[in-house]
Structure 1
Amino acid sequence: MVRPNNQLPENLPQLQNLIKRDPESYSDEFHTQYEHFLSLLEIFSLNPSEENKSLDEICMFIAQVAQCYPHVCQQFPKHLTDLLRNSATVLDPAMRNCFVKALILLRNKNLVPALDILELFFQLLRCQDKNLRTFLQTHIVTDIKNMNAKHKDMKLNSSLQNFMYGMLKDANPKAAKMSVDIMIDLYKKNIWNDAKTVNVIASVGCFSPITKVLVTSLKFFLGHDDEDEANSDSGSDNEVDLKGALMQNRVNKKTKKRQKQLQQIKKQAIKAQKKKKNAPVFNFSGIHLIHNPQGMAEGLFKQLQGTNDRFEVKLMHLDVISRLIGIHELFLFGYYPYITRFMQPHQRQVTRVLQFAAQASHELVPGDIIEPILKTIANNFITERNSSDVMAMGLNASREICMRCPLAMGEDLLQDLAMYKTYKEKSVMMAARSLITLYREQLPALLHKKDRGRQTEAQAERKVRAYGERDVQDTVQGAEALLKDSKMIDLGSDDDDTDSNDGEWVTVTHSDNEAAGEDEDAAATDSDEEEDDEEDDEDEEDDEEEEEEDDEEEEEEDEEEASDEGVRRDGDAAEGKEAAKSDKKEKANVKMLNQKEAAQELALTRIFTDEDFKRINAANLKKTVTNARKRPLEQDRAEFVKLSNIEMIYKKRKHDKESRLETVMAGRKDRDRFGWKDGRVNENSSKTNKEKSKTKNFGMMRHKARSKVKKSFRDKQMAMRKHLLQQKKMK
């Protein structure tokens, strides 16, 4: 092979190109360069704080062609890693960046193991070089993501997580902060989304003496998803840009540049559409994966009581503790008296404090523990000495607390708060009514009789639960709505030996609307049975009415003589009424029991479709509505309390321009037209030139405005002469 004329040892880029094409022919030149690298490295190790450009160039050269001579370069990564480990903090920044980039090149070519390089890079996070730390963070996240792209390398992940456990305890605040940022980033990217990562952050990060690490870990458990919202907004922008580009391409001139731009926009829109069609990835909060939530809540509360950090950090502690208590249903009774101290209308971020009190409430907390919070809110917020907004927020906070722990509210306090339903301010009135509506569904017995409202079917079926009692369903609730599709239901079961209907098929009766779609034969048999039942009931009622009339006539005719006999007959009539009523109730109960058993049997023997569930949901929704209430109650029972539920004030605020203009125009309706009034009798008659000049554009009147300046005697002479000349020409 013909060698080039220039000197290869001095032209490393050209030698690099030639070696990649033909490694065997240039083996001697590479050995020469490698020996030169070793000598330069020994010289540099004597004074590592000075930059050596020759070593920089030859180091990158060897990293580029190392895959061509793997045996020769076997010790090359070790030389670099030893130098970085021993003197990373005193190295020249340019040389340190050079060595790091060389190691990354070798890692991308799989010439060095990932675990050794990543552990070294984690240690380099201690360096006082912000650009280097940012570069290393990006590489670490990308490298771990690529290694887990096809399948998760559990052995490598476990080793790195154990190493990160020690890095979070590092005395260097910047290294610890960067380490926790990397772990959180990997969790959000669904790479390290296991319980081990979450518990490392919970056990080490949330109790770190470094404030930045502590705040970052607490924010992770608060679960802010700002990036997801930004991505969702960008998707909608792509669609708008596509429509605009299509319209521009239709109207504007067709050029190659515009066509190329249109094709790019179309590709972006197709990508965005594919992302929407993909299955959504649910990245739920890590607070659900904590192994020891009770211990973490107690530790955070103890740390909160002894901390001297800023008020914002204390609020983060309160928020995380309240979420732990609410989600995992913990017992931390010291938390409630502590948070009561911050419940004052003038307290900074008081609405968030009320939100934390609601989040820390659940059904297993005794009502005696939460009742002081409700009394504090009532005394400090729901009083007429405060503004209407403060009163409304206090009522909203009480509603959110009682929604999660209904037994916390006492009867006297509830009836006092319910009296604000007629308050003069609408915001307070609506907040009080929302509290009344909640207890109509939960515990109507605590309300005054006039506040209970008309009972719905769902309220009648609901059972009032005692403290600690759970509502366990043994069937699909509302499955009775599907009984009209199945005409015959087998009520017999192998377990019930005492049932008289074992192994028999019985007919389930329905209302007129539900039975409209049945067959004629089945409808005829059902109608015969219903008619018999109705005739029996009517006969009983007629007999009762006749007996009552006979008793009244006999009492009128012979009141004094047959008093004993009348009393006996009245007693018989009363007994007959009670017996008839009890028979009706028994029949209704038997009918309801048969329907429930049939619905339970249907749920066990049939797979419900989406249409079936839609009908079940519609039936359950119908039970919550009465003739007086046309819409169902919507009570949000999410695991996290929204701040808007407490700050929601029913008031129309006229701060926008349209509402202000409406008010202005409404005040001008019955008023005369404003402005200068002329003395014309007829408004439609023509105006003088002086009046017209008031409405003309200033550009048209500028020359006349100048003429109003007082003229000199010479100007008057010239104007007079000009006027006379014009008059002469006119003649």
Structure 2
Amino acid sequence: MFLAQVATCYSKELVGYPQKIIDVLEKFSSVMDPDIRLTMCRALILMRNKNLLEPTALLSLFFKMLHCQDKNLRKFLETHLITDIKNLNSKHKNVKVNTVLQNFMFTMVKDSNLKASKMSLNIMIELYRKNVWNDAKTVNVIASACFSKITKVMVTALQFFLNSESSGNKSDDSDSDDDVPTTKEVMMANRVNKKTRKRGKNLAKVKTMIKKKKKKGEAPAFNFSALHLIHDPQGLAEKLFKLVESMNERFEVKLMTLDLISRLIGVHQLLLLNFYPFLQRFLQPHQREVTRILQFAAQASHELVPPDAIEGVINCLVNNFITERNSGEVMAVGMNTVREICSRCPLVMSRDLLLDLTQYKKYKDKSVMMAARSLIHLFRDVNPEMLHKKDKGKPTLATVEKHFKQYGELASKDYIPGTEALLRKDDDIEPDNDGWEEDGEDNDDSSDGEWVDVDQSDDDDGKSDIEDDKTIEDENNTDAPPPDPLEQRKQALEIAMTRVLTDEDFRKMETLQMQKEIVGAKKGSAKKRKATDSLATVTAAQVGELVELGAIENVFKKRKHDRSTRMEAVMKGREDREKFGRKKGRMNPHASTTDKEKKKKKNFMMVRHKLKKTKKRSFKEQQAALRKSLIKQKKLIK
């Protein structure tokens, strides 16, 4: 250590000193004394920090020394390896050093030694999480460890893909919601000073839509970004499926492998048709971890899978789960799974089966009823024509413009939706502020929450308030025939080709698109129902790459809690609360008196009857009373 500290002062004399220590450790590291071996490693690290050693030579040596049967040494080397590689890539990516070390890592992960292989894999995973080695090569080296013959190494690699954190930083910009239109901008022009029932419904619907738009507009944080960096996801999924078919590991390891396969299929839209019949064997209500298996079935479905391949899964769910011989929770879980599968592959659902499932919307069990209604809400957005007329809901301009895609069809457009808003005047899009208030916003135009009188336009002179209200109501009902969609598309295409759109233009376009979801397409359409804000209400726009387990287990029922959960709730309610029981001491020592003090001041004739009762007690009663008092005093002393 002394020579390592003064090596910079005697660079000529100690020119071969680091290499000698490296040679000794390479030959005799496995049989050396642990203290001497650790001291030599610290000396090499000290000289490495003074740039007297090349990083590749030292790091390669330390990776080889992970074979040593010394836990403290391996932990020390792991910490140094992570820190040193992180420092090498702090300013810029050191591609040369990274390539050499990654190639060496590839051999270390396949090492037959359990400790060395697992430690090398842990180092790579930690460097990925610290955004040091977050490239595709590192991910594929970790993916190769999924086929390791060592169970611990295989499980570590599987857990990396299932639990890897997001490599991207979330944006903390508070102005991210500025691009989302507010309630006042979305509502249609209402220039009357009278509250109506329809306007209240529209306002409630607008607030619900804006909440969803804000949630949808947030920057996505992919917790499984490592899956996107795999070079050959189809080959990896096929190899993993072949492995799980002949696997003799524990059931938990099988579940982890099936989870990774389903995520690969869903994220990369792969075709692995044998995977769905394999899952059908486990789709039974009594199956262990059945909700997770249902989650895998939903994750593995996407638009490019042939509907015939998933049809067996749907039939299996209907026959085994959605039957009245099962409990309400089992039926709700099966219905939620069908909904999640149909949200990713709508073509798998037939009209007859959908009509049968929607009959559960009035089922006696609330969880089943809500699951059936969520399925109705999904197909209102995906393909309303498959529903019964009374379940379609009120048609809007947005639903009229939607097109139900066939298998393999792409919804490509030659124009930007909503550009027809740029042809209108601002008054036609942005409404006045007469009475429309949004939660959390101050309205300076109104005073004390009252409605403000607004002057009517010149065209409305001479009309009574009743006629004005009727006119506006007729405008809201959209009696006028809708404009020609072909003409609108032509104008929108011309605007997109001849103008440079600004942020304000995009804001107007988004406002118009949201208005289309409110305005009815025609008068006298089906009765409008209020959409719920529950987790069961899923639309096609909210479908993500992966399925949350809560979407499957979303049962609307008050579940029973075990004793530990109940006691935790009880103890939480006792916080900051005085204890029950007799209070010790006086309430006010300067004003109140105790019972003993009051007894001493009482008239003797008032307590005489108590003394007589005490004297008349037998010896046995006195003995029992004495014993009772002694026991009580003993407890108080303790």
Mark yes or no: TM-score above 0.5.
yes
Partner residue of 2:333?
Answer: 393
Q: Residue 642 of structure 1: which of 548, 563, 567 is its match?
A: 548
- Amino acid corresponding to residue 619 of structure 1 in structure 2: L
Structure 2 SS opposite 1:125? helix
**1:283 CA displacement:** 7.5
8 Å CA contact 1:168–1:176 kept in 2: the answer is: yes
8 Å CA contact 2:166–2:221 kept in 1: the answer is: no
**Identical aligned pairs, as a percentage?**
53
Is 1:101 aligned to residue 42 of structure 2?
yes
* Cα distance change on mapping 1:711 and 1:100 into 2, 3 Å: farther
Q: Residue 15 of structure 2: which of 70, 74, 81 is its match?
A: 74
Partner residue of 1:4?
Answer: none
Partner residue of 2:381?
Answer: 441
Structure 2 SS opposite 1:74? coil
Structure 2 SS opposite 1:330? coil
Partner residue of 1:329?
Answer: 269
Matches within 5 A, 1:207-218: 207-218=147-158
8 Å CA contact 1:190–1:283 kept in 2: the answer is: no
In the aligned structure 2, how far is the partner of 1:158 from the partner of 1:375? 51
Partner residue of 2:489?
Answer: 596
8 Å CA contact 1:188–1:283 kept in 2: the answer is: no
**1:134 CA displacement:** 1.3
8 Å CA contact 2:129–2:167 kept in 1: the answer is: no
8 Å CA contact 2:166–2:223 kept in 1: the answer is: no
- Amino acid corresponding to residue 470 of structure 1 in structure 2: L
Partner residue of 2:112?
Answer: 171
In the aligned structure 2, how far is the partner of 1:333 from the partner of 1:700? 89
* Cα distance change on mapping 1:284 and 1:427 into 2, 3 Å: closer
* Cα distance change on mapping 1:480 and 1:629 into 2, 3 Å: farther
Q: Larger helix proportion, structure 1 or 2?
A: 1
Partner residue of 2:467?
Answer: none
Partner residue of 1:315?
Answer: 255
Partner residue of 2:352?
Answer: 412
Partner residue of 2:505?
Answer: 612
Partner residue of 1:91?
Answer: 32
1:226-254 alpha-carbon deviations (Å, 9 max, x no partner): 9999xx9xxxxxxxxxxxxxxxxxxxxxx
Is 1:622 aligned to residue 622 of structure 2?
no
In the aligned structure 1, how far is the partner of 2:376 from the partner of 2:594? 64
**1:711 CA displacement:** 9.8
- Aligned-residue Cα RMSD (Å) equals 3.6
In the aligned structure 1, how far is the partner of 2:222 from the partner of 2:308? 38
In the aligned structure 1, how far is the partner of 2:598 from the partner of 2:26? 84
Of the two, which has the highest radius of gyration? 1
Q: TM-score, normalised by structure 1?
A: 0.60
**1:371 CA displacement:** 0.8
In the aligned structure 1, how far is the partner of 2:80 from the partner of 2:510? 51
Partner residue of 1:156?
Answer: 97
In the aligned structure 1, how far is the partner of 2:167 from the partner of 2:598? 59
Partner residue of 1:301?
Answer: 241
- Amino acid corresponding to residue 81 of structure 2 in structure 1: I
Partner residue of 1:482?
Answer: 422
8 Å CA contact 1:418–1:432 kept in 2: the answer is: yes
In the aligned structure 2, how far is the partner of 1:346 from the partner of 1:701? 70
8 Å CA contact 1:481–1:616 kept in 2: the answer is: yes
8 Å CA contact 1:414–1:446 kept in 2: the answer is: yes
Structure 2, unaligned stretches of length 5 or more? 173-218, 433-478, 521-527, 571-592, 601-606, 619-638
**1:448 CA displacement:** 2.7
**1:654 CA displacement:** 8.4
Partner residue of 1:182?
Answer: 123
Matches within 5 A, 1:451-466: 451-466=391-406
- Amino acid corresponding to residue 455 of structure 1 in structure 2: P
Whose RCO is larger (CA < 8 A, sep 6+)?
Answer: 2
Partner residue of 2:52?
Answer: 111
Partner residue of 2:603?
Answer: none
In the aligned structure 1, how far is the partner of 2:225 from the partner of 2:298? 19
Q: TM-score, normalised by structure 2?
A: 0.69
**1:455 CA displacement:** 2.0
The count of aligned residue pairs is: 480
- Amino acid corresponding to residue 117 of structure 2 in structure 1: A
Is 1:651 aligned to residue 557 of structure 2?
yes
8 Å CA contact 1:223–1:285 kept in 2: the answer is: no
* Cα distance change on mapping 1:697 and 1:72 into 2, 3 Å: farther
Structure 1 SS opposite 2:288? coil
**1:157 CA displacement:** 0.5
In the aligned structure 1, how far is the partner of 2:599 from the partner of 2:115? 70
* Cα distance change on mapping 1:452 and 1:282 into 2, 3 Å: closer
**1:76 CA displacement:** 1.4
- Amino acid corresponding to residue 299 of structure 1 in structure 2: K
Structure 1 SS opposite 2:492? helix
Partner residue of 1:669?
Answer: none
In the aligned structure 2, how far is the partner of 1:411 from the partner of 1:373? 17
Partner residue of 2:475?
Answer: none
* Cα distance change on mapping 1:294 and 1:227 into 2, 3 Å: closer
1:289-333 alpha-carbon deviations (Å, 9 max, x no partner): 111111000000001111111111111111111111111111100
- Amino acid corresponding to residue 96 of structure 1 in structure 2: R
In the aligned structure 1, how far is the partner of 2:7 from the partner of 2:220? 43
Structure 2 SS opposite 1:66? coil
8 Å CA contact 2:162–2:224 kept in 1: the answer is: no
1:437-480 alpha-carbon deviations (Å, 9 max, x no partner): 21122222322333323222222111121110010122222222
Q: Residue 219 of structure 1: which of 134, 137, 159 is its match?
A: 159
8 Å CA contact 1:406–1:442 kept in 2: the answer is: yes
Structure 1, unaligned stretches of length 5 or more? 1-59, 233-278, 487-511, 518-583, 662-695, 714-731
- Amino acid corresponding to residue 615 of structure 1 in structure 2: K
